[in-house]
Amino acid sequence: MTEKRMSRWYFGGLASCGAACCTHPLDLLKVHLQTQQEVKKRMVGMAIHVVKNDGVLALYNGLSASLCRQMSYSLTRFAIYETVRDMLGSSSQGPMPFYQKVLLGASVSLAAGFTGGFVGTPADLVNVRMQNDMKLPPEQRRNYKHAIDGLFRVAREEGVRRLFSGASMASSRGALVTVGQLACYDQAKQLVLGTGIMGDNIMTHFVSSFIAGGCATFLCQPLDVLKTRLMNSKGEYAGVTHCLRETARLGPLAFYKGLVPAGIRLIPHTVLTFIFLEQLRQNFGVRILS
């Protein structure tokens, strides 16, 4: 009889928060690069510009909103995905095939996307605005004190509907991220363990999550660009279609603006999330005897 540990439903949210604390400056730089109308600065130049003008702590603008989002949207999609995966895995013989993981990731992200539309998108909107605030002239800055202040001010000044600006893009992006991260991570981990070279250790978790981060970055970058533009707009876009047309006028590469910083942010975020998640599972998970 062997002992196996399973993740608790909230571990994904805690792991995502830990990763966000480490990678938030990269997320902030990605937002700044994506909201440029013309390519004026690259990642290093933007980082120097932010630190020079607003100080080192400015790299953590919007952290409270980022943590709020992780504990809503990320917690939801991890909880649903892992619960359903474990239920299906326990009722079948052997590891789940990759196509089932992809279908599971897509179906789970639909459910998580609806929940994220109600719970995660408002925090994401405030996060984008707080990160981008320092780029605006002083008279145009929103100056949210923290995430909760931002949520209340948007609802009071612009209406509740404005809180869900970009919700369709955020939900679609969440679907692709769930497939790219969770499904690809499970498959990569299964393949690495299948070689017999490495066991269920931190190196396996690193390699598997690095592959998953690369897949997620490539899949979701076009939607991430549209989501950022919609959330940061001041009414210049009539909707998703209008934003899509205006972005397309800049050329096809506009949909991959900020791809390198997005990868530099999302890949480490994915790696740290799964390393934290696996450590939580191994040390504090539910014990299962098999």
User: Hey, what are 263's tokens?
Assistant: 């990868």
Q: With beta carbons less than 8 A apart as the criterion, state whether 164 and 122 touch.
A: yes
User: Hey, what are 100's tokens?
Assistant: 């089932």
More confident position, 233 or 275: 275
User: Hey, what are 237's tokens?
Assistant: 């876009």
Q: Report whether pLDDT(277) > 90.
A: yes
Q: Report whether pLDDT(1) > 60.
A: no
CATH numbers and ranges of domains, the chain: 3-289 (1.50.40.10)
User: Other C-beta atoms within 10 Å of 203: how many?
Assistant: 11
The identity of residue 158, as a single letter, is E
For 179-220, the pLDDT digits (tens) are 888 888 988 998 899 888 888 899 999 999 999 999 888 888
| Whole-prediction pTM | 0.79
Q: List Cα–Cα distances, 172 to 12, 222, 287, in angstroms.
A: 20, 11, 35
Residues making up the chain, counted from first to last: 290
Q: DSSP string covering 213-265, please?
A: HHHHHHHHHHHHHHHHHHHH-SS--SSHHHHHHHHHTT-GGGGGTTHHHHHHH
For 122-177, the pLDDT digits (tens) are 888 888 888 888 777 888 888 888 889 999 999 999 998 888 877 777 777 777 88
